[in-house]
């Protein structure tokens, strides 16, 4: 199958995307445009962010056994996980610009994750981190459908989202759009429908380490990671699900 759509198709769809951009899309894109230059420093170059990054990276290391395959980082941001992908997609041009500075040998596209230029059934693996937490259920379903379209049969879609079970445990309420959307595994598999089957899932960040002194956090990493892969994993802060195209 062809990996890329034709130029005429890309141009026509790009115009349509701009015309159909929702207020939700516009707000999120503007936010990441504005934070792109200091995003890495503020989010992942501290003990809290590096804790999450290490756990997420360990999952990708376990699941993506062929990093030379046709792998797509959907909503790649500044390219935090581009070591696992050859193509990166993000709606924020400023985030993509930062990713290009770090990964000059990779290809990037400024596109809506729910409507990309990639051809049908061309990718081995698609992964998407720290995205669905911001999105409506409708937008989440659209991105899952797009991943299904792009993936080859047997291909994997790996993504994370806040655990609704964890939020219910602590009675956490929505506040604005940022990180507001949580799901259960059953809800996500229902959205995936008959097109994608669940292979497995993991937890990320079981302990509320943001409440601990920064010097102490690293000592909880091993135990936290064990709990995130145990029978209690649905109560971790985030869940990472691995779906496979049938």
Which domains are present in the chain? 7-245 (3.40.50.150)
Q: What is the pTM of this model?
A: 0.90
List CB contacts of 71: < 8 A, sequence separation 6 or more. Answer: 64, 84, 85, 86, 87, 123, 124, 125, 126, 127
Q: Which of 77, 118, 123, 122 is closest to 100 using CA atoms?
A: 77
Determine how β-strand 238-245 pairs with β-strand 196-204: antiparallel
Q: What is the pLDDT of residues 83-119, one digit of tens each?
A: 999 999 999 999 999 999 999 999 999 999 999 999 9
Tell me the C-alpha distance between 20 and 245, whole Å: 28
Q: Which of 202, 205, 201, 164 is closest to 183 using CA atoms?
A: 164
Q: Classify 85 in phi/psi space as left (phi over 0), alpha (psi -120 to 50) or beta.
A: beta
Tell me the C-alpha distance between 235 and 227, whole Å: 9
pLDDT classification of 170: cutoffs 50, 70, 90:
confident
Phi, psi of 154 (to 5 degrees): 90, -5
């Amino acid at each position: 199958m062809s990996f890329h759509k034709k130029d005429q198709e890309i141009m026509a769809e790009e115009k349509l995307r701009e015309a159909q951009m929702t207020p939700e899309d516009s707000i999120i894109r503007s936010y990441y445009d504005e934070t792109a230059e200091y995003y890495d420093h503020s989010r992942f170059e501290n003990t809290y962010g590096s804790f999450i990054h290490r756990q997420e990276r360990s999952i990708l290391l376990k699941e993506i056994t062929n990093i030379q395959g046709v792998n797509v980082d959907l909503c790649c941001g500044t390219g935090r996980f581009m070591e696992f992908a050859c193509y990166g997609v993000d709606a924020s041009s400023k985030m993509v610009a930062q990713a290009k500075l770090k990964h000059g040998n990779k290809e990037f596209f400024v596109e809506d994750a729910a409507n990309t230029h990639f051809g049908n059934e061309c990718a081995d693996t698609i992964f998407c981190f720290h995205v669905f937490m911001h999105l409506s259920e409708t937008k989440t379903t659209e991105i899952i459908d797009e991943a299904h379209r792009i993936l080859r049969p047997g291909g994997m879609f790996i993504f994370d989202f806040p655990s609704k079970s964890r939020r219910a445990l602590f009675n956490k309420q929505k506040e604005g759009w940022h990180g507001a959307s949580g799901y259960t595994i059953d809800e996500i598999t229902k959205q995936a429908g008959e097109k994608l089957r669940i292979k497995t899932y993991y937890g990320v960040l079981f302990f509320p380490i943001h409440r601990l002194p920064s010097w102490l956090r690293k000592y909880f990493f091993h135990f936290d990671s064990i709990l995130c892969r145990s029978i209690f994993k649905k109560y971790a802060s985030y869940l990472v699900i691995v779906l496979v195209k049938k």
